[in-house]
Amino acid sequence: MRTVKNARHLLGASLLVLAAWQALVSAGGFSEALFPSPLATLRGFYELIADGVLVRDIGASLGRFAVGYLSSILLAMVLGLVLGWYRGIWSYLNPIAQVLRPISPMAWLPFIVLFFGIGEMPALVIIFIAAFFPVLLATVAAVRGIEPVYLKVAQNFGIRQPAVLTKIVFPAVFPRIATGLHLALGTAWVFLVAGEMVGAQSGLGFLIIDARNNLRADLLMAAIITIGVLGLLLDSGITVVERAIGRRFGSRLA
């Protein structure tokens, strides 16, 4: 029942967007090369799929995303766990994190290019930065807010460091970190495309730059839609994972 209802909502939304889009094209009288009609975009999609460009670029983007995002959240969780535990150190690092956090990863771009060159690395580094702070701060906050009874149980049953962190603290706070992971996924995906615009030779960001340089608005629009749909799929995927985590780690206390 719910899937039927969801499908109806999705279909309705798509039709609405298509109708508005077509109306804009018909009424605006823009050149096809500057603003494509839905039909031209569909043909663009077909072209991208037919010569394998779309699959290649999606693969490249997802690959980069996986490496950047996973390495970032892994480091952020480990650091967050340790820094959340040793409050003294965090008191010094917290102001630094608070200053760095609101800076858009794109602002660092000239320095990133200076340190890492152009091509593959800028995209990875930008995804890394985008995902890092939400996860780090969520982990530190979660560790500091851990239910005291878990620590008492650990102490009572003779569990020592580093086992307290791995056996007790991490699983206890993981449901709360999961929210940070979800947030970071969305942010990182937004910055993937921006990162790929700097000298990458593949990926959806590169596809966008390439389409723009060749005045192929139909391909540009196709790439934009692909990015949106993939973002939605990633988000749905992590929601499923999050629910599973909630069931597995869930409790009255968490």
The residues of the shown chain that bind another protein, judged by CB under 8 A, are: 149-150, 152-153, 155-159, 168, 171-172, 174, 248-254
Smallest distance from the beta carbon of 241 to another protein, in angstroms?
A: 15
Shortest Å distance, C-beta 145 to another protein: 16
For another protein, which is the closer residue by CB, 28 or 250? 250
Nearer to another protein, 173 or 209 (CB): 173
Measure CA 211 to chain center.
24
| Residue 80 C-beta: closest distance to another protein, Å | 18
Main-chain dihedrals φ then ψ at residue 118, nearest 5 degrees: -105, 170
Cα separation, 50 vs 46, in Å, equals 6
Q: Which helix (H) or strand (E) holds 193?
A: helix 170-196
Nearer to another protein, 164 or 225 (CB): 164
Nearer to another protein, 47 or 147 (CB): 147
What's the length of the chain? 254
User: Minimum distance between the CB of residue 164 and another protein, rounded to whole angstroms?
Assistant: 11
Buried b (16+ CB within 10 A) or exposed e, 217-244: bbbbbbbbebbeebbeebeeebeeeeee
Between 21 and 249, name the residue whose CB sits nearer to another protein: 249
**Smaller CB distance to another protein: residue 35 or 150?**
150
Least distance from another protein to the Cβ atom of residue 142, Å: 14
In 3D space, the residue among 78, 99, 50 whose CA is nearest the CA of residue 173 turns out to be: 78
If DSSP states are collapsed to H, E and C, what string results for 125-142? HHHHHHHHHHHHHHHHHH
- Diameter of the chain measured on Cα atoms: 76
Of 67, 218, 49, nearest to 131 by C-alpha is 67
- Residue 151 Cβ vs another protein, minimum distance, rounded to whole Å: 10
